[in-house]
Amino acid sequence: MRVEFKELETVSDPRGHLVSIEVGRSIPFPVRRVYYIYGNKDGKPRGYHAHKRVKQALICLNGRLKVGVDDGKTRTVYELKSPRELLIIPEMIWRVMYGFSPDAILLVLADQHYDEADYIRDYETFLQAVREKTPPGGAPR
């Protein structure tokens, strides 16, 4: 599974918009945990970690923010600025969320319950773990 940024199907009519997220269709993993982040008034960055196993899907329900993702080789920045956008982050991706607008609400759907032992919060440890999974001259298995 790779980082994936996609537009969610939206049903619009004069009453507004409806976005439906279906496990197995829009999200390629079961959802066991839902949390949301809001009230980032001073734009302080969050994240700075990777997950050993947890996969997540991020949706900015209101406002906007940026998400930098890093697989140990390549860094990419996505701007989440619409509740129609979905960012899927698989395991072993370093992420940083920043540039929060004061009204940003970030919804996160995760495939596992919260477990601090799943976090890699040190970047050098993350790079080392990526190297251990990468065969010489090849992509991570």
Which residues belong to the active site?
Answer: 49
For ligand T46, the binding residue among 47, 63, 68, 140 (CB under 6 A) is 47
Enumerate residues 6+ apart whose C-beta is below 8 A from 8. Answer: 19, 20, 21, 26, 59, 84, 85, 86
Q: Smaller CB distance to ligand T46: residue 17 or 102?
A: 102
Cβ atoms 17, 11 nearer than 8 A: yes
* Whole-Å CA distances, 107 to 58, 60, 87, 110: 6, 6, 11, 10
Q: What are the phi and psi torsion angles at 28 (to 5°)?
A: -85, 30
Q: Which of 3, 27, 28, 46 binds ligand T46 (CB under 6 A)?
A: 46
* From 10, 32, 35, 75, residue interacting with ligand T46 (rule: CB under 6 A): 35
56 binds ligand T46 (CB under 6 A): yes
Among 16-24, 31-39, 78-86, 130-138, which window interacts with ligand T46 (CB under 6 A)?
31-39
What part of residues 64-123 is at the interface with ligand T46 (CB under 6 A)?
Answer: 95, 97, 108, 114
109, with CB counted inside 10 A (0-12, 13-18, 19+), is buried
Dihedrals φ, ψ of 27, to 5°? -120, 125
User: Considering the rule CB under 6 A, would residue 55 count as an interface residue with ligand T46?
Assistant: no
Distance CA 82, CA 61 (A): 7
- Is the Cβ of residue 19 or residue 69 nearer to ligand T46 in the bound state? 69
Q: Which is nearer to ligand T46, 19 or 67 (CB)?
A: 67
Distance of closest approach, residue 125 Cβ to ligand T46, in angstroms: 16
Name the site residues for ligand T46 (rule: CB under 6 A). 33, 35, 37, 46-47, 56, 95, 97, 108, 114
